[in-house]
Structure 1
Amino acid sequence: MKPGLIMRLSPPQILVYGFTLIIMIGAVLLSLPIATVSGESMPFLDALFTATSATCVTGLVLVDTGTYFSAFGQLVLILLIQIGGLGFMTMAALIALVFKRKISLKERLVLQTAMNQGSMEGIVRLIRKVLLYSLTIEFAAAVIFSVRWSFEMEPGQAIYYGIFHAISFFNNAGFDLFGAIHKPFGSMSHLAYDWIVNLVAIILIVLGGIGFIVIADLLEYHKTRKLSLHSKVVLSTTGALTVIGFVILLIFEFTNHKTFGALNGSGKLLASLLHSVTPRSAGVTTVDVSQMRQASQFFLIILMFIGASPGSAGGGIKTTTFAILVGALVAMVRGKEDIVMFRYRLGKDRILKAITLTMFAIFMVVFITMLLSTTEDHAFLVILFEVTSAFGTVGLSMGLTPQLTEFGKVVIALTMFTGRLGPMTLAYALGKKTDKELYRYPEGKITIG
């Protein structure tokens, strides 16, 4: 792409084209014979689907990662996950900082869009923090995982597994290699009682899901002694959803002998906590979600639709959007005109954006579910679950993904792509730029309710 053409592109367009380029490069590499254990080339559509899933940090897979891909293929996947999780513009900024190249105004605008920031002020400083915090957290988790697994594996394999899963879990990707040592598509089912691995995985998922802005805010709290409104809303909403999810899943699945019912008391508590966190956008499981009761599966769909928080690697409508919708509901019920959170009044533009994003997401999930219901021979709830998982870049699956038709693979891949970039970013990138209206129509009234 010519530099002159790049300068004419808007930040959302650069993000869309950049992610597309990364995915295409990943697909080509994964389709090489060296990327598979068998030495046979992976069909390009399957490679494209897998590259999309890795770059969009989703975790939906057509084949078992640990048994199908060679070390080269797994390396490609983890690089795609790291680039997709941090964002390709963040990685580009890292290269620029390493070579001491000044970051241009255009690049700052793209970084602002990628990090979902309201202004460019301090954007380069934030990027430095993002890179530092991410690598530090991943390194610490990799060390813990490596030490834990060194009791069961050769030191080299333990370190390799530690690094791979630390990156995958922190970026909320959900890819794992456990199929090579346990069973294909088994995720962490053999680690249901392992408190160390589960708790570290939960911490990684939460840290990766709350967003880098909140992490930076928390680490500087000892200096500032205050948190931003954004951080307060993200932390309170994430905490509330985790507690509610823990209680509901524990109640619904407590006596289900195909899931939590097969575990002892501590196992039930640990599984409930993990599965209340993993719909944030992670896709890590210790039980088969396809065997859960339908009430639990539908509740997971709701959690996946909400997703992670702004500025993170996760998808969904985001926790802040959900908080604004709940705030609007409470305000209307109480007869209040304003939505107030932590003694701050929210502007109407924030409320309209939250409603627009939610409606856009609902229409998208419903339309794709209806579309796949005509091409995929599976139950409606299974299809809805898979579509929501793709949109929320979660990676939880009820077993539909490996059985998708060619058309279904394309549709789910596009859904993952939209979920990672965000429906609004994609709409801005593909839509035409409109001039600001110079006049306003008179206000009208419509009866509601």
Structure 2
Amino acid sequence: MFSKKLRSIPPAAKIAISFIFVIVIGSVLLSLPISNLETSETTYFDNLFTAVSLVCVTGLSTLPIATSFTLFGQIICIILMQIGGLGLMTILATLIMRMGKKMRYSNTIAVKEALNRDELGDFKTYLTSILRYTFVIEGVGMFLLAFRFVPDFGLASGLFVSLFLAVSAFCNAGFDNIGTQSLQEYVHDPLVNLVVTTLIILGGIGFSVWFDVTYNVQSILKNKARGGLKRLYRKLKTHTRLAINMTVALIVIGTVVFLLVEWNNPNSIGSFTVGQKLLASFFQTVTMRTAGFATLDYELVEPFSLLFFIGAMFIGGSPGGAAGGIKTTTFALIALLIVSEIKGQKHVNYAHHTIPFETVRRAIVVVVTFTCFLLAGVSVLMLVEDQPFLFLLFEAVSALGTVGASVNLTPELSHISHVVLMILMFVGRIGPITILLSLSRKSRKTKDQLYAKTTILIG
């Protein structure tokens, strides 16, 4: 009876339930005495908030990881971030297939939706590759970060800090176990800045992009074909090219804008050298879209920078990875739709390909739904908090976009606001469409209806 009910649960609901399950278990584990330092002031509510933030790979917290949890507690944090970044269903599906067992079709569909994958072919290889690439990239990141943190913290502690930061960065979680000020102490450190940003980009660009690039690189090397990067770029899938183009464009534009706006601000980068300004601007731009680390105090930057960052957090990373937001490709489709409308074209085109209307419609629904959740969240925060609107908006977008950046506001908020942020983090990680689908109950009698056309004035 139970297995029948389980099979009848829609794929979207299975995704949501799997995250809720991990959050509840995580909050209990973090509340154990073995997880908390003797000087820790955490309550179960704090641990629940932290568990939601860890599993939803956001980075917001009411109390710092370093001053709250023991080694055991921090290991639990790493596990929760890893599960949150990859998804529980992805990990379980991989283990099941590795044991030679087959998954039910409904569960396969759920995993496919969790990964934002449009096909089921060779699923076992795909899932295994995700885990392999993840652990290899995080391992390399840990190795490189160890060159900085082992001298700073000693061998054992330095390696653990490197591991924690590598997993957090790749999963776009934004947590650290160094102190209370994120990575501000390393604002001028090229090694920490570049390794962390590389991990963030790799984790946020999407699994399908990795595999497409890797496959084509291997194909070119195997066939010893000439042409270099141009040939490689032409062979990539349309989605891969769009995701890469948008990622590069947003990073370049964001770095330049932040650099220009904050150039003379003595509270941020005004007193830095040119190289230090460029490094700090690049880091903030990368982390602000998906991860939430900070090498600067965001409370001290210009209001325009905060507003610009809100837009960057709203867009987020690319589909199929650990990043949040509406996603780069969704934003690109909306922009392409506007351009085609201005030109008077009936179809949305990109790179000599026409994008199906169903895809464009889904992009519109994602943006509208995302915006509705954001407005609802900000409205509640405005009702219960006496804080500047820009700060509340920044906090809400950071939660919904699973970014985790804060203007030092999270610990000061009320429990009601923390509940709102938890809901926004959960919706942002699962996806607003998945949330709506998990709550819907479509009747078998429901069919698409086509009536006589009519005209409605808009604009």
Letter in 2 for 1:150: V
Q: Deviations over 1:297-337 (max 9, x none)?
A: 00000000011111011111111100001101111222222
Give the CA deviation at 1:407. Answer: 0.9
Instruction: Kindly indicate whether residue 205 of structure 2 is the aligned counterpart of residue 195 of structure 1.
Output: no
Give the aligned partner of residue 219 of structure 1: 214
Q: Is the 8 A contact 2:380 2:417 kept in 1?
A: no
The CA distance in 1 between the partners of 2:13 and 2:6, in whole Å, is: 9
Give the CA deviation at 1:187. Answer: 0.9
Give the CA deviation at 1:208. Answer: 0.6
- SS of the residue aligned with 1:298? helix
Give the aligned partner of residue 414 of structure 1: 423
Give the aligned partner of residue 65 of structure 1: 65
Give the aligned partner of residue 224 of structure 2: none
Q: Residues 73-222 of structure 1: matches in 2 within 5 Å?
A: 73-179=73-179, 184=180, 186-222=181-217
- Ranges of 4+ aligned residues in structure 1 off by more than 6 Å: none
Q: Is the 8 A contact 1:27 1:44 kept in 2?
A: yes
Q: Is the 8 A contact 1:111 1:123 kept in 2?
A: no
Give the aligned partner of residue 11 of structure 1: 11
Q: Is the 8 A contact 1:55 1:84 kept in 2?
A: yes
Give the CA deviation at 1:3. Answer: 2.3
Residue from 422, 434, 439 that aligns with 2:449: 439
User: Which shows bigger deviation, 30-39 or 345-354?
Assistant: 30-39
- SS of the residue aligned with 1:340? strand
Give the CA deviation at 1:436. Answer: 4.5
Residue from 298, 302, 305 that aligns with 1:293: 302
- SS of the residue aligned with 1:48? helix
The CA distance in 2 between the partners of 1:121 and 1:235, in whole Å, is: 24
Instruction: Kindly indicate whether residue 314 of structure 2 is the aligned counterpart of residue 342 of structure 1.
Output: no
Letter in 1 for 2:199: L
Instruction: Kindly indicate whether residue 421 of structure 2 is the aligned counterpart of residue 426 of structure 1.
Output: no
Give the aligned partner of residue 372 of structure 1: 381
User: Which shows bigger deviation, 249-258 or 123-132?
Assistant: 123-132
The CA distance in 2 between the partners of 1:39 and 1:149, in whole Å, is: 24
Give the CA deviation at 1:99. Answer: 2.8
Q: Deviations over 1:206-230 (max 9, x none)?
A: 1111011101111111217511111
Residue from 285, 289, 312 that aligns with 1:276: 285
- SS of the residue aligned with 1:261? coil
Q: Deviations over 1:78-112 (max 9, x none)?
A: 10000010110111023224433233323211111
Identity %: 36
Give the aligned partner of residue 268 of structure 2: 259
Q: Is the 8 A contact 1:209 1:280 kept in 2?
A: no
- SS of the residue aligned with 1:62? coil
Q: Is the 8 A contact 2:186 2:192 kept in 1?
A: yes
- SS of the residue aligned with 2:60? coil
Letter in 2 for 1:397: S
Name stretches of at least 5 consecutive residues in structure 1 with no aligned partner. none
- SS of the residue aligned with 1:285? coil
- SS of the residue aligned with 2:403? coil
Q: Is the 8 A contact 1:57 1:85 kept in 2?
A: yes
The CA distance in 1 between the partners of 2:453 and 2:70, in whole Å, is: 63
Q: Deviations over 1:133-169 (max 9, x none)?
A: 1111001111111123222231111111111110000
Instruction: Kindly indicate whether residue 361 of structure 2 is the aligned counterpart of residue 361 of structure 1.
Output: no
Give the CA deviation at 1:438. Answer: 4.9
Instruction: Kindly indicate whether residue 383 of structure 2 is the aligned counterpart of residue 388 of structure 1.
Output: no
Q: Is the 8 A contact 1:33 1:41 kept in 2?
A: no
Give the CA deviation at 1:39. Answer: 6.2
Give the aligned partner of residue 310 of structure 1: 319
Letter in 2 for 1:103: M
Name stretches of at least 5 consecutive residues in structure 2 with no aligned partner. 221-231
- SS of the residue aligned with 2:377? helix
The CA distance in 2 between the partners of 1:155 and 1:85, in whole Å, is: 27
- SS of the residue aligned with 2:454? coil
User: Which shows bigger deviation, 224-233 or 324-333?
Assistant: 224-233
Letter in 1 for 2:128: R
Give the aligned partner of residue 21 of structure 1: 21
Letter in 1 for 2:216: Y
Give the aligned partner of residue 229 of structure 2: none
- SS of the residue aligned with 1:314? coil
Q: Deviations over 1:393-426 (max 9, x none)?
A: 0000011211121111111101100000000001
Q: Number of matched residues?
A: 444
The CA distance in 2 between the partners of 1:439 and 1:379, in whole Å, is: 47
Give the CA deviation at 1:174. Answer: 0.4
Letter in 2 for 1:131: L
The CA distance in 2 between the partners of 1:324 and 1:436, in whole Å, is: 29
Q: Deviations over 1:249-303 (max 9, x none)?
A: 1011111111111322111000111111112210011101111111000000000
The CA distance in 2 between the partners of 1:60 and 1:150, in whole Å, is: 26
TM normalised by structure 1 equals 0.96
- SS of the residue aligned with 1:66? coil
Letter in 2 for 1:328: L
Give the aligned partner of residue 227 of structure 2: none
The CA distance in 2 between the partners of 1:442 and 1:121, in whole Å, is: 40
Q: Is the 8 A contact 1:289 1:397 kept in 2?
A: yes
Q: Is the 8 A contact 2:40 2:67 kept in 1?
A: no
Q: CA 1:283/1:432 → structure 2, altered by over 3 Å: closer, same or farther?
A: same
The CA distance in 2 between the partners of 1:159 and 1:368, in whole Å, is: 39
Give the aligned partner of residue 257 of structure 2: 248
Give the CA deviation at 1:35. Answer: 1.4
Give the CA deviation at 1:119. Answer: 2.6
